[in-house]
Structures are given as C-alpha cells and as structure tokens.
C-alpha cells in the first residue's frame, strides 16, 4: 500500500479522495472514499468507497466490512481485533441516517469508539439527501475528535456529486 508520512492528514485525505473516484456516479448517493489507519504504526488497515461492495454500501461501511472479513469476525465484533489507536479519514462526514435502512456509518464508527480516536473529514455532508446530518455531533459527544482537513473541498464536492442533476 501507499506510504504516507505520519501526521500527513492531507495525503491521507487525498488517498480517500482517490478511493471516492472509483465509486460509480449516481444521482441517488454521494461518491465517498474512506481510509482506516492504525495511528500508532502509521499503517493503512483498510480502504473503501461508496458501492464498492454489494448492498448499497457506503465507504466507511466498506472499510469495516473488508477488515472484518480479513480478521474472520462479524463487523459488530471488529473492535476486539483492532489496534487501540485508529484514525478514520473520510471525504464526507459519516452519515447519521440511511434512507436505505442500512445502519448509518456514524453508528458503525461509534461501535469502534475507544479504538477510533479521530475522524478526519474533507467536507460536512451537504443536505441533499438528509436535511441535518448529526454525524459530527454524535461522534464528538462520544469522545471521538472530528477534524476538518482543509484544502480539498472543491475536488471532494465535485467527486461526491458526480452523477447528480445540477439545478
């Protein structure tokens, strides 16, 4: 995998953006990329993007599903096999509501609270599908830091909304 210097948050976000670009453009979702990093070892544990796996999967969900499969555990037991200092990089704020009925990404992240210490985001989720995403607030209330990584907002929004009808 790619070698990124410890603490180079923009480079990790760029990698997440590269993941997002692999997602098929659709008018009904955002193209999001995510990267899960073992902060202590500066090791990328998993990457993911929207619709990478079957079942209307989101980027963060894909990271967790792939990692759970690698470790041979159900996703809900993932915390038991992960290092204690994780960082999640995601191009768009984790969702707090899924119109598809799937578990919201923020709930998936909260299952890993204590291991995931920081979530780095490229942009706050636009209100296109869910009027008020409470992902950032829910994470912060659980003691998970949410940090905006500046500098790629325009590119992230362009990728996220590819396939949307421009009004």
On whether residue 96 sits in a domain, the answer given is yes
On whether residue 65 sits in a domain, the answer given is yes
- Residue in 163, 134, 131 with CA at minimum distance from that of residue 20: 163
CATH for 20: 3.40.140.10
Beta-carbon-side half-sphere exposure of residue 108 (alpha carbons within 13 Å):
24
Per-residue pLDDT tens over the stretch 68-100? 999 999 999 999 999 999 999 999 999 888 877
On whether residue 37 sits in a domain, the answer given is yes
On whether residue 39 sits in a domain, the answer given is yes
Number of domains into which the chain is organized: 1
pLDDT confidence of residue 29:
87
pLDDT confidence of residue 16:
98
Could you give the CA distance from residue 147 to residue 60 in angstroms, rounded to a whole number?
A: 16
Could you give the CA distance from residue 73 to residue 82 in angstroms, rounded to a whole number?
A: 11
On whether residue 2 sits in a domain, the answer given is no
Three-state SS for 130-142 is CCCCCHHHHHHHC
Please list, in sequence order, all residues whose beta carbon lies within 8 angstroms of the beta carbon of residue 99, skipping any fewer than 6 positions away.
129, 130
Q: Which domain holds residue 84?
A: 9-160
Beta strands in 64-109 (DSSP E): 86-92
Q: Evaluate the CA torsion angle 65, 69, 71, 75 in order and state its sign.
A: positive
Residue 95 corresponds to which tokens in the numbers above?
């969702």
On whether residue 17 sits in a domain, the answer given is yes
Which residue is catalytic, options 60, 76, 107, 132? Answer: 60
Told to judge if 140 belongs to the known catalytic residues of this protein, a careful annotator would answer no
On whether residue 165 sits in a domain, the answer given is no
Per-residue pLDDT tens over the stretch 141-158? 999 999 999 999 999 999
């Amino acid at each position: 995998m790619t070698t990124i210097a410890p603490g180079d948050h923009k480079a990790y976000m760029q990698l997440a953006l590269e993941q997002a670009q692999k997602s098929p453009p659709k008018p009904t979702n955002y193209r999001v990329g995510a990267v899960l990093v073992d902060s202590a070892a500066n090791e990328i544990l998993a990457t993911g993007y929207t619709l990478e796996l079957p079942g209307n999967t989101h980027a963060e969900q894909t990271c967790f599903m792939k990692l759970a499969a690698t470790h041979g555990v159900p996703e809900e037991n993932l915390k038991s096999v992960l290092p204690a200092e994780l960082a999640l990089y995601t191009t768009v704020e984790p969702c707090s509501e899924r119109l598809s009925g799937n578990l919201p990404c923020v709930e998936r992240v909260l299952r890993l609270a204590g291991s995931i210490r920081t979530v780095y985001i490229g942009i706050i989720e636009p209100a296109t599908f869910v009027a008020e995403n409470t992902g950032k607030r829910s994470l912060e209330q659980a003691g998970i830091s949410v940090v905006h990584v500046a500098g790629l907002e325009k590119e992230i929004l362009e990728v996220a909304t590819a396939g949307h009808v421009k009004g």
